[in-house]
Amino acid sequence: MLSSHGEPKPLVLASGSPRRLALLEQIGIRPARLVPAEIDETPRKRELPRALARRLAETKAEVSARAVRRDPVLEHSYVLAADTVVAVGRRILPKPERSEDAVACMHLLSGRGHRVFTAMCLVTPRGKVRIKVVETRVRFKRLSAAEIESYIASGEWEGKAGGYAVQGRAGAFVSRLVGSYSGVVGLPLYETASLLAGEGYPVHDAWRGAEP
């Protein structure tokens, strides 16, 4: 979609996540600004993992879009938000801040499969809301006490959904992954590009003349 001056309308990323920013930049998309939305991410009673991811992504997008609409430079932007939820069955794993919680996550994930839901919510310049949820199935090897202890000592788990980052050290624990690897990192690239392109954002324009 073009502005009244014929220029592409900017994209605002409703996240401060360096991982999501890096993933967008990987496919040549550079947001005009990062406008993180601070919201309560506590699951509701009996809320299912997919529903939680969808609700949080939509809420983040709405909060960020309201802030953006007050800025005359960005008021006609696309706003993209995302949220990732890790679950074993219906059990939603936390984004641990304490080592004890991270240890509990590792024990729960050890030797078994789990699901990663990443939801994206796009608010268009005209206020249209589009939501997509991507599910990926991941299996961890059986972890020894020494492996868990070493991983916890790395500190890499802090604030990560399920207590791990697949692109980091915990990648050594993944024995199988079916679905979107980038979705587990935090933003499924195929689905994100399709969502943006479907609403008129020029996803591929920056590829012309780019360094190989």
Instruction: Report residue 209 as tokens.
Output: 């003349």
- Cα Rg for the chain, rounded, in angstroms? 18
Three-state DSSP class for 73? coil
**Residue 40 annotated in active site:** no
Q: What is the C-alpha end-to-end distance of the chain, expressed in Å?
A: 27
Instruction: Report residue 21 as tokens.
Output: 């920013």
Distance CA 138, CA 121 (A): 23
Note whether 196 and 122 are within 8 A (CB). Answer: yes
Note whether 116 and 184 are within 8 A (CB). Answer: yes
Alpha helices per DSSP H over the chain: 18-26, 49-69, 99-109, 145-154, 181-185, 189-198
Of residues 40, 83, 101, 205, which has the active-site annotation? 83
Q: Is 127 left (phi over 0), alpha (psi -120 to 50) or beta?
A: left
CA atoms within 13 A on the CB side of 71: 16
Catalytic amino acids?
83
